[in-house]
Structure 1
């Protein structure tokens, strides 16, 4: 649902520099998660990207968000912005996780997309239903892939274990699901159909991540879980994440940001500290989690500022002005 947050932004062409530390594009993400370096980042194809910063941070993988392509792009899948960026990253040594939202796609379109991705050597997919605001067909029976689980099943049927497939999890439940118990059942179904790992929606509350992980294990969901972290940089972005992505905002954070809302610098400092403390807690409990995934909105300077304050990654990073 974060794609909705950036859809109104102007599309900007991106050139990618080689990775700071190249990772084999053959690496499945669930294999990469066994390494010491387990910080990953989500980037978007339709806004500017600081390639100098990107190549200075040794992320374990980069995920590329999906936006519903135009009919013309679907006729020639090589024109799809997410695929263009994913291929650029892959060819420059980055381990890539391509988002793929199935709700608006036909079976033959997914076949072509998967073949194109496979031929490019990209082996990691993030199977999604798609943003509710972008869904064109409301009737499940008229969709080839009404839910993410249907897309996971199709990928496995068509390509076996060629791809490593991730799915989304919701520590505070999906906004459209009636309760967390039902949501966990849906998540288990996605894993049963072939998902290899889970990246969660953002939360600002460590306890929500911890409880979610323990609930998953009790449900028999035993694939790696990667918490998603969003860095607060202004009151506007905070409320936008809540509105478009259904991320609840704890009262203490609402009050803290409200008190400094007119000074974006102060809000950013608060957001950096809040994200740093959250990441530290996640990595203090590695038995529950397999890494941290940063929702960047392409603001890599903000991401790097957070990582430089953590104990987990600072020794690997080049200075901000490098």
Structure 2
């Protein structure tokens, strides 16, 4: 592999990276101030806030010129009638992409107990979504066996256009997982979930902003995430470079980055611009 190839791949992934945000009171203005319109923004869905908060923020940002990807958490949708209403609202806002996880609502709000249930109904509804994302778990799901999550991707593949991985930290493990799902026949392009370079104290502050009940659920699910982001050995810079190297293998079909910002969008955008500048500098640096 040439010295240039990883640099080109890094720039390509960073240029097409999308940012995940949580629907809080101040995030719309933060996105508008710090995030270029060329960056797609995904909006999470949390049971404590309700799907309305996700849709409100998604339509607001779409009105401000962003490509927006709302999370339609299946267990938060009561059934087909509400799904039709959601689709109509997003279509009116000009939103053409969605991400469909199962979600954490317990018990479910209605008929949908898993993402596949909603995806099957969505396929029978006239909708504007040219991009439909489903979840992947290279780091393992906290409550679901790996074999089950891989089978779930296989079951959902016909309804989706790409897979978005959960937050991952080990490039070697990511590569092994990619090979596994490709052998299983899941050929959808992959967007790799990457933690933004956010300080641990800011992560904890973000957890408190999403509400007491949600914070406890969030912290339980992500307890290893905090430890690994804060660990001395983890570097977002280095990890992204390793993902870029993996993406040079077309068989893995790694096509993008999904950056978890924890709403620290200014920090993440400053980091992304620095990485792009460093990649550009490396490409024009004369050989030794």
Which stretch has the larger CA shift, 103-112 or 35-44? 35-44
Alignment partner, residue 242 of structure 2: 281
Residue 110 (str. 1) matches residue 83 (str. 2): yes
Structure 1, residues 109-161: CA drift from partner, whole Å, max 9, x if none? 11211111122221111112112xx3234xxxx94111011111111111267
Counterpart for residue 43 of structure 1: 21
Quick check: 2:20–2:262 contact (8 Å CA) kept in 1?
yes
Corresponding position: 1:66 with 2:45: yes
Please tell me whether the aligned partners of residues 205 and 278 of structure 1 are also in contact (alpha carbons under 8 angstroms). Answer: yes
For residues 165 and 90 of structure 1, do their structure 2 counterparts lie closer, same or farther at Cα, with a shift above 3 Å needed? same
Alpha carbons 2:73, 2:100 under 8 Å: kept: yes
Aligned to 1:294: 259
Report the TM-score, using the length of structure 2 for normalisation: 0.75
Bigger mean CA offset, 303-312 vs 288-297: 303-312
C-alpha distance 304-209 of structure 1, shift in aligned 2 (>3 A): same
Indicate the structure with greater helix content. Answer: 2
Gaps of 5+ in 2: 1-11, 208-216, 281-288
Query: Secondary structure in 1 aligned to 2:192?
Result: strand
CA distance in 2: counterparts of 1:312 and 1:135, whole angstroms: 45
- Which of 221, 226, 234 is residue 245 of structure 1 equivalent to? 221
| SS of 2:18 mapped into structure 1 | strand
Deviations 1:175-211 (CA, angstroms, capped at 9, x unpaired): 1113x2222111111113x111111100121122212
Partner of 1:136: 107
Structure 1 unmatched ranges of 5 or more = 1-33, 75-79, 257-269, 316-322
- Listed as ranges, the matches of 1:208-247 within 5 Å are 208-231=173-196, 232-234=198-200, 237=203, 243-246=219-222
With CA pairs under 8 Å and 6+ residues apart, which has the higher RCO, 1 or 2?
2
Secondary structure (helix, strand or coil) at the match of 2:54 reads helix
Deviations 1:69-102 (A, max 9, x none): 77xx88xxxxx22112211222222111110112
CA–CA distance in structure 2, aligned partners of residues 277 and 172 of structure 1: 18
Task: State whether residues 161 and 188 of structure 2, in contact with CA within 8 Å, keep that contact through their aligned partners in structure 1.
Answer: yes
Q: State whether structure 2 residue 142 is matched by structure 1 residue 169.
A: no
Q: State the Cα distance separating 1:67 from its structure 2 match.
A: 2.7
Among candidates 34, 48, 52, match of residue 33 of structure 2: 52
Give the Cα–Cα distance (whole angstroms) in 2 for the partners of residues 155 and 312 of structure 1. Answer: 41
